[in-house]
Structure 1
Amino acid sequence: MVVTPEQALAARDALRICDAIGFDTESKPTFTKGETSTGPHLIQFSTDNKAYLLQIGDSTEPHLRAMLLAVLESPLPLKIGFGLSDDVKRMHAKLDIRCAGVVDMSVVLRTPGQRNDLGARTAVAKFFGLKLQKSKKISTTNWALPRLNEKQILYAADDAQVALRVYRHWIGLGNKLPPIKPFKLPKPAKTGLS
C-alpha cells in the first residue's frame, strides 16, 4: 500500500525504470439504476516482482497525484492490463489524468475478425494452462473503504500482476505489439459561455 510521500517516491522510481508494468483500477460497485461511479477508488501497478496499491478518495493527496501523473501520463513504461477502457476514462474524469502508453491485452489478444475480447481468465488458461481465481464476491466489495482487507489487497495485486505476466509470456513467444493508439476520452461539456 502506497500511503506516505516517501512510499510514493519509491514506487514512482521503481515503476519508471521498467519497460512495462501491470495496471488496473478498482471502483466501488454501483447497484442502483442511474447511479454514477465515483471511482477509481484503488489504482494498482505491478512490476515483475512487486505490486503497488494506491487508495484514491474524494481528495487525492498531492504526493499520490504527483506519482500517478509521473507514471500514467508518460508513454513509458507501458501500462499493461485487461479491459482498460473504463479505467482510463475514470482516471481522466476523477483525476484529470490522461493515460499514455496503455496496452489493453484483451484487445491485443483478440482474434482477427472476432468481436469478443479475451479476458484475463481466458488468457491465463490459454497461455499457462491454469485457472485464474477471480472471486465475484471480492470483485464486488466496497473498494472505497478506508481500510481494505487481505483478500481485497491480494485480489487487486493479482489483477495487475497477471496482466504483466501474460504480456511477458506473449512477447516471449515472439509476438510484437501493434502501434499503441490513445484511448478516446469524452469531450468536455460545453458551458454555454462565449
Structure 2
Amino acid sequence: MDNESFSIAIDKKCVAEMPTVTFAGAITVIERAEEVAAAVSFLRSHDVVGFDTETKPNFRKGMTNRVSLIQVSTEDHSFLFRINKMGFTPELREFMECEDVIKVGLSLKDDFHMLHQVGEFEPRGFVELQDMVKKYHITDASLQKIYAILFGHRISKGQRLTNWEAQMLTEPQMIYASIDAWACRHIYLHLISGNFVPAASPYVRHEEETASSQPSNE
C-alpha cells in the first residue's frame, strides 16, 4: 500500500445508524466428537475460511472460563464446534495446524491463548485481520468497525455476553457466532480483491484533521 498521510476510522454513532448484517447461509452445530471429521473434511476443501471463538462470560473479577465454541465459516456454511461438550479433538487440532487452508480471524493471539488451555497445537495458516487492515490505512481494530467501514453494515454484538455453555444454543446465538466468523473471511477477500481503494473511503481522516481533533493540553 502507499504511504499517504491519512487514516481511516469510523465513530460509534455512525456504525449504530447502519443496517444490521444478516447471515443467510447454513449453520451446522457440532456437539459430538464423531461428527468432527466430516465437518473438518468439508472445511479443508475450501481455500479460505473465517475463524472465531466464543467463551461463556464470567462476571467475577479475575475469573475466566475456557473456550466454549469454535466457529469456522465458508461463504455459505458455518460450523459451530461446541468444544465445551466434546473437547478439543485430534481433527480440530490438525485443522488448526494445517497450512493448506487460510484461516482468517481477529485478535487471534487472544483466541490461541484461550485455546491452549484446552489443547496443545501449533497454529498455522492463520491471517490476523488487525495486522492486515493497517496496510489499508484502517486504524480501527474491532470487527464491527472494520466491517462497517468496508461494507456500510453493522454487526450486532447483542449475543456476545450470553451463555455459550447452555444445553442448547439459541438461534440468535448461532447466527451471531456464524456472522463473526463469516465476516472475517468476507473482509479478507474484499481487501485482497483490490476493490477497496483506501483514499476513496468516506471515512478518511487526514493527519491535520486528526491532530485538530485531539484535546488541548492547555
Post-superposition CA distance 1:37-58 (Å, at most 9, x none): 2321000000111000011127
Q: Distance in 2 between matches of 1:173 and 1:102?
A: 20
Q: How many residues align?
A: 168
Post-superposition CA distance 1:141-165 (Å, at most 9, x none): 1112221111111110111001001
Structure 1 runs of 4+ off > 4 angstroms? 111-114
- Which among 182, 199, 204 is matched to residue 161 of structure 1? 182
SS in 1 for 2:116: helix
SS in 2 for 1:163: helix
Name stretches of at least 5 consecutive residues in structure 1 with no aligned partner: 176-194
Q: How does 1:36-75 map to 2 (within 5 A)?
A: 37-57=64-84, 60=87, 65-75=89-99
Q: How does 1:1-194 map to 2 (within 5 A)?
A: 1-4=29-32, 7-35=35-63, 37-57=64-84, 60=87, 65-110=89-134, 117-135=140-158, 138-173=159-194
Aligned-partner residue type, residue 66 of structure 2: G
Q: Distance in 2 between matches of 1:173 and 1:71?
A: 29
Aligned-partner residue type, residue 22 of structure 1: G
Aligned-partner residue type, residue 46 of structure 2: C
The answer to whether the Cα contact below 8 Å between 2:31 and 2:85 also exists between their aligned partners in 1 is no
Shift, 1:59, TM fit = 5.9
C-alpha change, 1:130 and 1:112, in structure 2 (3 Å) is closer
The answer to whether the Cα contact below 8 Å between 2:31 and 2:83 also exists between their aligned partners in 1 is no
C-alpha change, 1:84 and 1:109, in structure 2 (3 Å) is same
Q: Distance in 2 between matches of 1:27 and 1:5?
A: 19
More strand by share: 2
Decide which structure has the larger Cα Rg and report it: 2
Shift, 1:110, TM fit = 2.3
Q: Distance in 2 between matches of 1:171 and 1:81?
A: 15
SS in 1 for 2:127: strand
C-alpha change, 1:161 and 1:113, in structure 2 (3 Å) is closer
Q: Which has the higher contact order (CA 8 A, sep 6+)?
A: 2
Shift, 1:68, TM fit = 0.6
SS in 2 for 1:75: coil
Normalised to the residue count of structure 1, the TM-score between the two structures is 0.78
Q: What residue in structure 1 maps to residue 24 of structure 2? A: none
Q: Distance in 1 between matches of 2:108 and 2:140?
A: 12
Shift, 1:127, TM fit = 1.3
Q: CA RMSD in A?
A: 2.3
SS in 2 for 1:45: strand
